[in-house]
Copies of this chain bind each other. A is one copy, B any other.
């Protein structure tokens, strides 16, 4: 929390600067995201949502319940249903029934899913390294620090 001294300048410019920051943040984020989507589609016939779900699953060898996935990725339940359907059709994921609960399913990556994701993840990391290649360590650490500050302050909402 920043303290506003009694003799502060009018706040107006700060609010304009915040707006300017948001527009730039959105633009940068969208530029990178679009490039990643484009490459996933063109080079791997995949999509970002599918990648995100596989990424979550790859970190949970014993699988995740639908609701756990949607909580992790901060998206709706119905959304995950559709994406897991797709991954299942493609042979990358599997719904396994949970012993004690006939409502729930654990979703796991198949062997094929695991190896496909390993490939995707490696490509993804190298794309990011390439796309953000113009940033040196100082830029990167500086932005990470500011973003942590931002995310913390967003968490209060």
Evaluate contact between A144 and B24: CB separation under 8 angstroms.
yes
Evaluate contact between A28 and B125: CB separation under 8 angstroms.
no
Instruction: Answer yes or no: A104 CB below 8 A from chain B CBs.
Output: no
Known A17-B141, A144-B21; contact A150-B135, beta-carbon cutoff 8 A: yes
Give the interface residue-count category, chain A.
35 or more
- Which residue of the partner chain, among B18, B21, B29, B154, contacts A26 with CB atoms under 8 Å? B29
Residues of B within 8 A of A24 (CB): 143-144, 147-148, 151
Residues of B within 8 A of A144 (CB): 17, 20-21, 24
Evaluate contact between B143 and A139: CB separation under 8 angstroms.
no
Footprint of B on A, CB under 8 Å? 1-2, 11, 14-15, 17-22, 24-35, 74, 125-126, 128-129, 131-137, 139-144, 146-154, 156-157
